[in-house]
Chain A
Amino acid sequence: MDRRTALKNLALVIGSTALLPRCTSHSSVAHFNSFDVTYDQQSLVLDMAETIIPKTATPGATDLGLDKFIWLMLDDCTKTDDQKAFFKGMGEFSDLVKKTYNKDFADCTKQEKMALLSTFEKKPGDKKDAKPANNYSKELNGFFGTVKGLTVFGYTESQYFMTKEIVYELVPGRYNAMYPVKNNMKA
């Protein structure tokens, strides 16, 4: 059990959420240029990123701080209207989690998280440009798409990925026009 879940459980023991709204139970609000992000919102995005790029034998989203990258990109590189849509989608996502599992995303099991996020994805065998088979709103699908896109972008452009998972050389010094792919070779 991580610290956040422990704190939440503690809050449940102390009193109902109605009496003690979540936002006051975690006062750590992050201030960005264009918006503020509550602790719960930060946790949600980090949890989603970690579900998409989990820690396995190699580092995951949390280890690599990908949530910080997501918020930076959302703050600096996203238009105001798209930011609004993102937060609207985020609200709908929280509702969806509640409706599906009757609890918060943070309290879901890994399997539940995976199952829920998979509803945003195409089915195996679907065509490249196929849309996922859900009836979610544009904002909700967009919210997931933004989190996933930035998580993957942040991961594949991270120093860890580029130096340990693939071989990025700042100065290749050569061009091998034909290079055999060996077993388990990385791109």
Chain B
Amino acid sequence: MLRHVAGKLGGAVAGVAAVVVLGFFLFRMIPGDPTVTMTRGRQVDEAQIAELRALHGYDRPIVEQFGKYVGGLLRGDMGTSLFYRRTVAELIGERVGPTLLLVGTSTLIAVTLGLWLGIRGAWRRDSLFDRTSTGVALLGWAMPAFWLGMLLSMVTGDLFPSGGMRFSSTPPGFWPQALDVAHHMVLPSLTLIAVVYAQYQLVMRSSLLEEMNADYLTTARAKGLRDDQVRRRHAVPNALLPTVTLVFLHIGLVVTGAITVETVYSWPGLGLLTYEALAGPDLPLLQGTFVVLAGSVIVMNVLADLLYQVLDPRVRAS
């Protein structure tokens, strides 16, 4: 067991290391160096390029640059944003909170909603409820998040604020501020939920359907348990296990949704920061958000893997 955990943690370290390496070489992939990307489509002369190169250390040997980049990351230094003229770490630090709030709330609601719909649908397979809810889920899944976001904000009009996280006119103090943020978060989180809940529902549904004809359910019924108890105590816990892994495996999709939803609603999180970094392009900033977003998704997945060990008695025993 301990060896298994150590193996998983080793895998996580290797995964994050791969993200770090990818983050470095990705932005140096094209012939020349990042200054080519940064100055694309602008009038610059040789001297300006040389200055830019020296400023960012691109004139140093690649090994030295890589060493400096990794050393910086270990100290929490991800360079300086070209556009904001502030350190990338500081900018990311400011934006993590809103993203965690938005993604966390939406995922929680989407998982609850998806699992509930999936269980109900599978238990009454091919009923009107099952067919309608599967259809609606597929429809939500087919929609680009940003499009749904724009539609929602057009349909609701002035009912909800269409951008940002709080009004500057809101009085200080915990409750007024919290209410203001919640008011701003309604549309972004609704959009995110609508786009991601389908996967949870469909996975839960098919994984419960797999269990439906299992012998232990017949036994449970033969014992005289009510239908509801058979479902809650026997079928659902078993079907939940594969679902849990998939929920975490799909966390990357939620991050993807967050990038466009934050862009549409100007929600001041990491997604909007990524979008802002595209405009320059602000390569140090983009590199920072890439490493942080990809790295945290990988860490989340390893955590899920470990959680799975705790949850599944079959794996725990072996």
Are both chains from one complex?
A: no
Residues of A within 8 A of B (CB): none
